[in-house]
Amino acid sequence: MSNTLSFAPTQPAGKPLRAGLWVAQLLVFTSFTLFGGMKLFMPVEQLAAMWVWPGAVPPWFLHLMGLIDIAGGFGVLLPALTRIQPRLTVLAALGCVLLQIAATIFHLSRGEASVVPLNIILLALSAFILWGRGKKAPIPPRG
């Protein structure tokens, strides 16, 4: 018995699972790049009028979160789409899971429970990608 983790699927993934993973990847890509772009390029005052928290953190933190969001969004889609280092999709999905856990804790600690459902949806989508692309339907590298 080998001590290494295998990410090969135990049985071939069906078309509905593979299609669902692509849809989830597109949704995470779109959400993370949209919100990341807003954090990176919109004025803090404008963001603070839409969301409460941007005015309560330093601008550098807001911009850093924007960069992290954009990196996560591109990371869950492009490596799988291009089949260049597709394992990076799994790592990006893990990063997105951890980011959404941190965001949920952050918002709950500030009494902003009304925004947490979006974090939970993004967490679930990211976890689905992590599981699916890591175990059930990994993308083979370009041959």
pTM: 0.89
Per the domain annotation, does 10 fall within a domain? no
Is 58 a member of any domain?
yes
Would you state the pLDDT for residue 52?
Answer: 83
pLDDT at 11: 63
Quick one: pLDDT at residue 143? Answer: 79
Give the separation between CA 104 and CA 77, rounded to whole angstroms. Answer: 23
Any domain includes 127: yes
Q: Which segments of the chain have a pLDDT < 50?
A: 1-2
Within a domain: 62: yes
Domain count, the chain: 1
Return the closest-CA partner of residue 22 out of 85, 107, 103, 80: 80
The answer to the question of residue 66 being in a domain is: yes
Q: Is residue 9 part of a domain?
A: no
Is residue 67 one of the residues assigned to a domain?
yes
**CA atoms of 119 and 105, how far apart (whole Å):** 10
For residue 56, the enclosing domain spans 15-136
Q: What would the pLDDT profile of 32-51 be if each residue is shown by its tens digit?
A: 999 999 999 999 999 999 99
Q: Evaluate whether residue 2 is within a structural domain.
A: no
